[in-house]
Amino acid sequence: MTPLSTREGDLEPTEIETTVPPDETPATHCPYCGRPFPTEQLSTLHIGDVHQTEWTGTEHEAYEDAYQTESDELFIYHLKVIAALVFVFFGFSYVYVFVWI
């Protein structure tokens, strides 16, 4: 699997300023650049996307697992969106047929 690459003109990951609210503590930090993350999965995905030249074999395996998990979650989300659009389309169709005709 290949990670997402940055588009031309995008900010480099080290140029993005991040702050953690004073009443919260991040779940983890990137071991390479120190960026804070709210979950371990986001940190793992960050390492795989930004620090590929520096990561270890264990981090590579964790990235593959996190990437697959995120892909599965995104697929389920897309199915839900499609189902909602179909429901809305047929709902409007039935309302049109039974109310206005």
Q: pLDDT digit string (tens) for 16-66?
A: 667 777 888 888 888 888 888 888 998 999 988 888 888 888 999 999 999
pTM (two decimals): 0.67
Q: Report the b/e string of 15-31 with b at 16+ CB within 10 A.
A: eeeeeeeeeeeeebebe
What pLDDT shows up at residue 12? 57
Query: Which tokens is 70 given?
Result: 């995120």
Q: Residue 28: beta bridge partners?
A: 37
Q: So what's the pLDDT on residue 91?
A: 93
Q: What is the domain partition of the chain in residue ranges? A: 26-100
Instruction: Please say if the pLDDT value at position 11 is more than 60.
Output: no
pLDDT tens per residue, range 76-92: 999 999 999 999 999 99
Token readout for 10 is 């995008």
